[in-house]
Structure 1
Amino acid sequence: MNADDAPESPAVPREVLAEFERHLRAERGVSPHTLRAYLGDIQDLCRYATEVGVSGVEALDVAVLRAWLARQHSVGRSRATLARRTAAARTFTAYLFRRGLIPDDPGLLLGTPQRLRDLPAVLAQDQVARLLDDMTAEGPLGLRDRAVLEVLYATGVRVSELCGLDVDDLDTERQTVRVLGKGSKERTVPMGDPAARAVQDWLRYGRPELATEHSGPALFLGARGGRLHPTSARRIVHTRIAEVGDMPDLSPHGLRHSAATHLLEGGADLRSVQEMLGHASLQTTQIYTQVSVERLKQVHRQAHPRGAE
């Protein structure tokens, strides 16, 4: 449901929600997923504000926001959901304040719940080597699958970024790829020889077999010649990992986690990995240092004479 379809609320007029949606789309450039989530969060906030008798947007103060979030906690919302809803509320009140619709910004007084983040699952370096080196690449789809996995692991791009790549985004001489990430932020990411060779083989021998008049500039194509969809890319990764066997089933995001972890294990600095992955915050990248430390502790426990009782 978009803002124009939202029920009328005494707390926040429908036209204000519609303008907020346009603000998120045009000025903030948020992803479609974030747009849906934030709009749903704010519509829920509006329903709550109406229930508790808020009669106008100017009465949307910090007490109402905190009470709304407290209700989310009481019904068992996860920390991740609470953190996102807090971020949505802060974005909304900041927008209202800039528009002059409220006298001050109550969102500034909200704390942000800390998310308890599980360590991401990753493949070991020898498992990745087995996956990529032993993969059969017969026919155009086989060549495509090899190139997809090689690029995902070589660059650490998100699956949506991979599927959004065009042929012109590749610089084969410099072995780099131009990526359009979250918030329409562009970055250039390097890729090594194996990925470059796999992509060149796909472009030379695979893509021409699948391309149609509707393919456009898309780098990776589906079986019918259209741009490869993220769902299909996920299926490719799951299928190819299952073919190897004896390793955890990971999604494309798991290959992204693996790439980041292996970069840090190889001596890369956090800032470089942050830039490569397109993380807005260094704090997001630091999760991979925990993965490396946990793996080191596991090796110590298994290999050191006094590592474990």
Structure 2
Amino acid sequence: MKVDGHGQAKVLTLYEIAKLFEAFEGDRDRALFGICLYTGCRISEACSMLTTDAYDAAGVRMKITLRKANTRRKQETRQIPVNSVLKGYLETYRSGVGKQYLFPGRHGREHINPKSADEILRETCDRLGLVGVSTHSFRRTALTQMSSAGVPLRVIQEISGHRSWQALQRYLEVSELQLEGAIASLNF
């Protein structure tokens, strides 16, 4: 868990996710962090999205586009199917969308800065008394949840954009319940 900016971002519990999304002060914040949670993307990738990456003339797209120019290593564009919960956040946020950027910055210029998103999250966590949470918690939570649900690592790697399994595996947390289940499966 992260302490004073050191260590790995906390993997969120279902309770913590529900509390955070209740406590976010606006539709923009729920849509922004919803994209991070339901696509497993980095905060910088979500902040820099274009409006057309999430919406078309008919409404919310079936897939979110994370353009290669905005990804960490600028390797390839990823398209991720839109979860029904995320679709609801995006439909509610639609009226706040910018002309060019999905999450416009101050005065409608450029996109929201990832540091501003971090500050929004920190203030919300402080109000709730949550410790160890960072913007990366949404990515770690998404990838760990997929792994716990039995999604093959190759599929998770495709969603996350990790170049290697070794890099991906550093994100995945192993729970006590998973350890107990593994030992319980030993039935000779």
TM-score normalised per structure 1: 0.49
- Of structures 1 and 2, the larger Rg is shown by 1
User: Which residue pairs with 1:185 in the alignment?
Assistant: 76
Relative to structure 1, the CA distance from residue 284 to residue 295 in structure 2 (aligned partners, 3 Å threshold; closer, same or farther) is: farther
Q: How does 1:13-162 map to 2 (within 5 A)?
A: 120-132=9-21, 134-137=22-25, 142-162=26-46
User: Which residue pairs with 1:200 in the alignment?
Assistant: 91
User: Which residue pairs with 1:230 in the alignment?
Assistant: 114
Distance in 2 (CA, whole Å) between partners of 1:294 and 1:286 is: 17
**Count of aligned pairs between the two proteins:** 166
Offset at residue 295 of structure 1 (A)? 6.0
Deviations 1:158-208 (A, max 9, x none): 11111220011125241x21102222410101231221221222222x23x
2:145 is matched with which residue: 262, 267, 270? 262
Determine whether 1:292 maps to 2:174.
yes
Offset at residue 232 of structure 1 (A)? 0.8
Superposition misfits of 4+ residues, deviation over 6 angstroms: none
Distance in 2 (CA, whole Å) between partners of 1:217 and 1:224 is: 13
Offset at residue 258 of structure 1 (A)? 1.1
Determine whether 1:250 maps to 2:139.
no
Offset at residue 119 of structure 1 (A)? 5.5
Distance in 2 (CA, whole Å) between partners of 1:287 and 1:184 is: 20
User: Which residue pairs with 2:165 in the alignment?
Assistant: 282
Relative to structure 1, the CA distance from residue 244 to residue 250 in structure 2 (aligned partners, 3 Å threshold; closer, same or farther) is: same
Relative to structure 1, the CA distance from residue 279 to residue 294 in structure 2 (aligned partners, 3 Å threshold; closer, same or farther) is: farther
Distance in 1 (CA, whole Å) between partners of 2:156 and 2:138 is: 14
Distance in 1 (CA, whole Å) between partners of 2:175 and 2:85 is: 28
Offset at residue 253 of structure 1 (A)? 1.0
Offset at residue 152 of structure 1 (A)? 1.1
Alpha carbons 1:135, 1:146 under 8 Å: kept: no
Two-structure CA RMSD over aligned residues (Å): 2.3
Offset at residue 242 of structure 1 (A)? 2.4
Deviations 1:71-124 (A, max 9, x none): xxxxxxxxxxxxxxxxxxxxxxxxxxxxxxxxxxxxxxxxxxxxxxx6652112
Distance in 1 (CA, whole Å) between partners of 2:61 and 2:108 is: 27
TM-score normalised per structure 2: 0.77
SS at match of 2:79: strand
Unaligned runs of 5+ in 1: 1-117, 301-309
Distance in 2 (CA, whole Å) between partners of 1:295 and 1:221 is: 41
Alpha carbons 1:238, 1:249 under 8 Å: kept: no
Offset at residue 287 of structure 1 (A)? 2.3
SS at match of 1:219: coil
* % identity of equivalent residues: 27
User: Which residue pairs with 2:155 in the alignment?
Assistant: 272
Distance in 2 (CA, whole Å) between partners of 1:292 and 1:131 is: 23
Offset at residue 148 of structure 1 (A)? 1.0
